[in-house]
A and B are shown apart, each in its own frame.
Chain A
Amino acid sequence: MPKTSSIEESLRAVAGPQNLRAASGADAVSGFLPQFVAEPDDKHQLAAVLSLANEAGITVVPRGGATKLDWGNPPQKADLILSTARLNRIVEHVWADLTVTVEAGCTLQSLQNTLAQHGQRLAFDALWPERATIGGVLSTNDSGALRLRFGALRDLIIGVTIALPDGTLASSGGKVVKNVAGYDLPKLVTGAFGTLGVITRAVFRLHPLPRAAKTFSFTGENYLAMQQNILAIQDSHLAHTSLQIRCSSCEFPAADILFEATDVGLAAQESHLRKLLGSTRVEQSSGNVWNARQDLWNSPTNSTLLAKISLLSTDIAKTLGSLESLCDSRKLELRIVLQATGIGMLRLAGDLDQVAAAVELLRSELQSRSGAFVILRRPLELNSMDAWGNAGDSVSLMRAVKHQLDPKSTLNPGRFVGGI
């Protein structure tokens, strides 16, 4: 790396003196302290800073609201934080076309507030919406309970602009909901953890806010009974928006179901649900149950690990059973929120060696059944564990894509699958 002072001068010249500062402890990434933080004013300045860093051989960590900055593997190197904080405008909300163009640094909540003025929403629930930015939720492919009905961000994004390490600003997709011209790069950068380019703006399709909504909850005597009820609901004519299971050590599993419809429609759905579940007691509950996923993240200790799991619905009972017995025998505290999409978030706490061993066992069990186990947040002591697990036979193709867009591994080196 060239001399720090000359780099700093160049960065300052490109970003503007007011937009570059030395990093402080609060800017650390998984224990790594970068040297600088740049907060460019617009996408052109962002691309220029990125390109300068790329040429100078300094590594870059893109950052939105920093709510998920420690997800993925720790970086091999992290010299410069490239913040999208100032790219926070809602460029265009064409409510009559149900689309919005928004800059990457805008928080999800501020976007939703604007959309709500016209009775619309981005049909997507992320963790910490008041701080999480559009660029950040896209890059980490976060998704919540609304995914069952509306899909993930990959299904809602219709256009994107990214800055590449060589300074190229490239757009793909467009502003219309239906469009097959060119490659679907919005999907490529969704979930890429900022390793291919820095997202500067995105275009989304929107949905109307529901006219009315109701949540119901029920418990299951055991995991198998719960799985049977989940499968029965999924196989029914119910038109639910969300369906999740909540479990923690030593409690009966509980499930929540959300309906969004007209008042007439809601009444019909409720009676259909009660009929379908027969003797299982169904109670109306408050919308707060949908915070359960985020609540897993509250007051973490030095011994807490959080992970995302993927599985098939028919493996719900088996997986929950294994989890419970693993945690029992290793004296781990377990909490899990599992969506009917098969995506779950789990929290393990206890002796770190036991946590690490449980992760390995669960991962290999899930992978053997077409699933996945990805570590999101872990204590620094477990930093050497791979966050991702087996990414299959397409890793060399992924490396080739990375090499085409970021040949010098300037962006987030080492954080993604297969050492990317």
Chain B
Amino acid sequence: MDARIFQELRSIVGAHGLVSSPEELHTYECDGLTNFRVMPLAVLLPSDTQQVQAIVRVCHRERVPFVARGSGTGLSGGALPVENGVVISLARMNRILEVDLPNARVIVEPGVINLDVTGRVQPHQYFYAPDPSSQSVCSIGGNVAENSGGAHCLKYGFTTTHVLGLEVVLPDGSLVHLGGKALDMPGYDLMGVFVGSEGTLGIATKVTLRIVKRPECIRTLLAAFPGTNEAGAAVSDIIAAGMLPAAIEMMDNLAIQAAEAAVHPNYPDCGGLLLVELDGPVAEVEALMRDVDEICCKNGAWEVRLAQTDTERMLVWKGRKAAFAAMGRISPNYIVQDGVIPRTALPRVMSEIARLSEESGIRVANVFHAGDGNLHPLVLYDRRIAGQEQAAESLSYRILELCLEAGGSITGEHGVGEEKKRMMSKMFSEPDLDTMQRVRCAFDPLHLSNPTKVFPTPRLCGEKAGEYVAHPLETAGIAERY
């Protein structure tokens, strides 16, 4: 990077707010999706909104693309740096600014860790509902970018349900406020568009969250089935009975083995494990839990356990939440996928995954949010064996195609990022994608904010101010202007 620009950026964040040595930059060359790596020119660590604005203004003036980064736990490469760009880490903006219990609102900076929000309001029996498995390390800003979900979004909704207001630095450095503490502020729901836009529309610097009163009781039931088909049938019956559990999770035998090896949750050794959590007033939950128990037995569960204490409940969840990392116990490498299917397609898609797995000789462990059809197939392979990585990648894309064929989506909560952008044109038509890109052009006409993500072919915006300057992506022949 031009020494002058470098100097200017340093003067904004100070020497301690700038990372530029190659050794330190390695930390930022990827996020949770480690098979894509790009070295950024520099990493900037602003400590307040004004610094973010100042950095972005320089980037805008000098046409330097930037990528915002929270904790870097994303699984689709959303925080992967872009060539010749800088990374803006929000990690130092980690203050909880306001806790307003009577109105059930908390205002935070983007670097605040998800679980710390709950930590702050827990003494008053409130919690922050979105609970991605990485919640003890992932940041609210990252959650906003990815519209993170978690096991409990079946009942409580996603990040977008719980974000009510945003302060955003737009890609030209200007500051806007979207939404607010109260509902339905006049105007377009730009906040709704921003949440889940994967860092392509700007940088959130302040987030107003809704918190939720903790239910009177939480009960978690564990049921062991011969296979995932039987467990899937039980899920359908639970939904058909008119219940809306807080969470329904399913694991297949390979996933159970891995979880058992990693954190010993004492799961029964079975072909399909179901974890059903109900919450609410005691009388209601107890009545409904009896129904769930009955439905599980009717569908062939040979063991049904109700976690009796909070400790037991936490252990049950620990096994599920550690499932991805636990794969390291049974395979040197793995790819996590995040496809979604209509729940009714589960038996069909599962047997097809099993067939593909057998055909390719690549093992697949399955962990899903069964209530909402969000599959997390874990494609296991060994990089040291020639051809395995490629076979695993093509199997994992094939699984996403299966999800689309079933009427589903390529991503339920991990985002498109770098990893799945080429799948976008399989899910959406050209006019669909063009319309999204037109919205992007309203926010970021120069294409500077995380420019290479989400869309298969970056398109540049038709209107530009001042003299025509070819965008680097255009010169490189990887983007077209429209």
**Residues of A contacting B102 with CB < 8 Å?**
231, 235, 313-314
B409 and A185 form a contact (CB under 8 A): no
Choose among A154, A178, A196 the residue with the greatest number of B CB atoms under 10 Å from its CB. A178
A154-B192, A181-B410 are contacts. A171–B197 as well, Cβ < 8 Å?
Answer: no
Kindly report which residue of chain B lies nearest to residue A183, judged by CB atoms. B436
Q: Is A357 an interface residue (CB 8 A)?
A: no
Bound CA–CA A390/B186 (angstroms): 8
B408 and A176 form a contact (CB under 8 A): yes
Bound CA–CA A237/B244 (angstroms): 18
Contact with B along A391-420 (1 / 0, CB 8 A): 111110110110111000000000011100
Contact with B177, one of A272, A311, A394 (Cβ below 8 angstroms): A394
Contact with A along B83-101 (1 / 0, CB 8 A): 0000000000000000011
Chain B: residues with Cβ within 8 Å of the partner, total of 89
B242 and A370 form a contact (CB under 8 A): no
A151-B157, A170-B432, A401-B439 are contacts. A208–B372 as well, Cβ < 8 Å?
Answer: no
Q: Which of the candidate stretches A3-11, A12-20, A187-195 sits at the interface with the other chain?
A: A187-195
B434 and A168 form a contact (CB under 8 A): yes
What's the nearest-Cβ distance from chain A to residue B248, in Å? 12
A168-B431, A181-B416, A183-B439 are contacts. A96–B408 as well, Cβ < 8 Å?
Answer: no
A151-B161, A155-B161, A391-B186 are contacts. A185–B442 as well, Cβ < 8 Å?
Answer: no
**Residues of B contacting A314 with CB < 8 Å?**
100, 102-103
Q: Which residues of chain A (347-374) have a CB below 8 Å from chain B? A: 370-372, 374
B193 and A187 form a contact (CB under 8 A): yes
B432 and A261 form a contact (CB under 8 A): no
Q: Is A169 an interface residue (CB 8 A)?
A: yes
What's the nearest-Cβ distance from chain A to residue B468, in Å? 20
Contact with B along A187-221 (1 / 0, CB 8 A): 11011100010000000000111110000000000
B177 and A393 form a contact (CB under 8 A): yes
Choose among A164, A168, A269 the residue with the greatest number of B CB atoms under 10 Å from its CB. A168
Kindly report which residue of chain B lies nearest to residue A237, judged by CB atoms. B216
A176 and B242 form a contact (CB under 8 A): no
Q: Is A278 an interface residue (CB 8 A)?
A: no
A178 and B436 form a contact (CB under 8 A): no
Q: Is A238 an interface residue (CB 8 A)?
A: yes
What's the nearest-Cβ distance from chain B to residue A417, in Å? 5
Chain A: residues with Cβ within 8 Å of the partner, total of 88
A181 and B187 form a contact (CB under 8 A): no
Q: Is B236 an interface residue (CB 8 A)?
A: yes
Bound CA–CA A417/B244 (angstroms): 38
**Residues of A contacting B429 with CB < 8 Å?**
171
Kindly report which residue of chain B lies nearest to residue A265, judged by CB atoms. B284
A119-B242, A171-B432 are contacts. A183–B158 as well, Cβ < 8 Å?
Answer: no
Bound CA–CA A389/B182 (angstroms): 15
Q: Is B77 an interface residue (CB 8 A)?
A: no
A372 and B443 form a contact (CB under 8 A): no
Q: Is A91 an interface residue (CB 8 A)?
A: no
| In the A-B complex, the 4 residue pairs with the closest CB atoms | A187-B192, A265-B284, A208-B242, A268-B283
